[in-house]
Chains A and B, each alone.
Chain A
């Protein structure tokens, strides 16, 4: 089992819809969680950190479920500009090494 797993997609979603995807992790001791977005052939950029109580940033909501070992990202009122690959990042081990998921591709259609 991979340490961090994501559905590769693509998720094809109409503009204005709500979309959610999950990222599962295998190490129950993981402490830090992040979502990055990566546009096609560009560098990753931090979208948001994920806090234990869940957090929201505009149309984006991130949740952490420690019992089931997954984090989620929900995007409301999706925009064409939300089309990207969303990377899940989890810290593991005594060195807090970051493990990156392979990403979930999201395509917003007009």
Chain B
């Protein structure tokens, strides 16, 4: 039972470097999400997707891009990393719309930008 898998689990970047976080789910869910979690704050939605080939901006999309070329994968890209992007990133998926059922989360990816 893999569920939602995120790679990598940890990454250290220098300011200005780029990277991609990969999220894969094996539950055939239509909806996928990228969140960031910072100390003392609730999870904040970066981008989301309601199906293969679709993406939409969340609450804090600046500095990030996403792609959903395949239903099971949702990629989060940082084109030019900044220290403010140091955070824990969680991918999630759901069978139904986000407010109607359970979100299933990956284990998280800890990113440090120096």
Residues A46 and B40 in contact, CB atoms below 8 Å apart? no
Which residues 9-54 in A have Cβ within 8 Å of B in the complex?
31-32, 41-46
Count residues of B near A (Cβ-Cβ below 8 Å).
18
**Residue contact A100 to B43, C-beta cutoff 8 Å:** yes
Contact of A46 with B97 in the complex, beta carbons under 8 Å = no
Q: Are A96 and B42 in contact (CB under 8 A)?
A: no
Residues of B17-73 whose CB lies within 8 A of A: 40-45, 59
Q: How far is the CA of A97 from the CA of B43 in the complex (A)?
A: 12
**B108 neighbours in A (Cβ, 8 Å):** 41-43
The number of chain A residues with a CB under 8 A from chain B is 20
CB of B45 within 8 A of CB of A97, answer yes
Q: Are A31 and B99 in contact (CB under 8 A)?
A: yes
**B107 pairs with A42, CB closer than 8 A:** yes
B90 partner, pick from A4, A8, A44, A97, beta carbons under 8 A: A44
* Best-surrounded residue of B40, B43, B45 (most CB of chain A within 10 A): B43
| Chain B residues proximal to chain A, CB less than 8 Å | 40-45, 59, 90, 97-100, 102-103, 105-108
